């Protein structure tokens, strides 16, 4: 067997799945793996990537309510099918090492369980995510130093772009001008700073 899953994202995810399955007394189901994946990449309770925004707390509630108690933490049948989809994604991409996009696209294509329902309702296709990533150079785990335009910040935060521009004018959100141009750019890290959980604002 190829050593596709050497240390890295998959190992971290596996630990999270193990912890979750143990806490829920559930087998390693597709839903548990989906929740572990979303939690791994969530910021302030949301998984957000281009056209995808998922309330991770809501998913956690659903998984906690629907998890079927099992004494064995074994791989469930739906996870077995999912693992084959991940491998198909790896082959499709031409890369050898499994990464977070292979998992995401496998969740998007699996058409069963919670991921099937969530992506069915969102109506987002893997091709749209690929196009977004090509256009923005983003990743599932957004590098904090990534630069965003005010429009991208507005899309990410689900607010009007005029709101973002007013934050920049008032100094609430730090921005820089591209030399010789009117274009403004904002560090992703500064955008994340705006997302304080309720109760932390002064």
Partner 1 sequence: MPLFQIARSLAELPDEEVDAGALRAEACLTRFPGMRWTRSYYDAAARLVTSYYEAESQEQIREHARAAQIPCDAVIEVTELVPDSYR
Buried b (16+ CB within 10 A) or exposed e, 92-114: eeeeeebbbbbbbbbbbbbeebb
- Contacts of 119 by beta carbon, 8 Å cutoff, 6+ apart: 107, 108
Strand partners, 43: 46
Smallest Cα–Cα separation from 54: which of 6, 111, 124?
124
Q: Is 1 in the site for partner 1 (CB under 8 A)?
A: yes
Q: How far is the CB of 14 from partner 1 (least distance, A)?
A: 5
Q: Is 140 in the site for partner 1 (CB under 8 A)?
A: no
Q: Is 88 in the site for partner 1 (CB under 8 A)?
A: yes
Q: Is 68 in the site for partner 1 (CB under 8 A)?
A: no
The correct pick among 51, 62, 70, 87 for binding partner 1 (CB under 8 A) is 87
Q: Is 109 in the site for partner 1 (CB under 8 A)?
A: no
The correct pick among 8, 58, 66, 80 for binding partner 1 (CB under 8 A) is 80
Strand partners, 106: none
Return residues touching partner 1 (CB under 8 A): 1-5, 10-11, 14-15, 17-18, 28, 72-75, 77, 79-80, 83-84, 86-88, 90-91, 98
């Amino acid at each position: 067997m190829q050593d596709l899953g050497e240390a890295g994202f998959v190992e971290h995810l596996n630990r999270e799945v193990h912890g979750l399955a143990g806490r829920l007394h559930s087998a390693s189901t597709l839903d548990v793996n989906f929740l572990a994946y979303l939690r791994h990449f969530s910021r302030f309770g949301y998984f957000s990537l281009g056209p995808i925004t998922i309330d991770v707390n809501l998913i956690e509630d659903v998984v906690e309510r629907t998890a079927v108690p099992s004494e064995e933490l074994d791989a469930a049948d739906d996870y077995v099918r999912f693992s084959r989809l991940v491998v198909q994604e790896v082959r499709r991409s031409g890369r050898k090492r499994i990464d977070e996009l292979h998992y995401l696209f496998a969740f998007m294509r699996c058409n069963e369980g919670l991921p099937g329902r969530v992506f069915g309702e969102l109506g987002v296709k893997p091709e749209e995510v690929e196009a977004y990533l090509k256009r923005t150079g983003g990743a599932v785990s957004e590098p904090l130093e990534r630069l965003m335009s005010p429009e991208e910040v507005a899309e990410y935060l689900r607010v009007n772009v005029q709101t973002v521009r007013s934050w920049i004018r008032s100094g609430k959100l730090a921005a820089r001008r591209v030399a010789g141009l009117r274009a403004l750019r904002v560090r992703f890290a500064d955008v994340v700073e705006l997302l304080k959980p309720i109760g932390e604002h002064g």
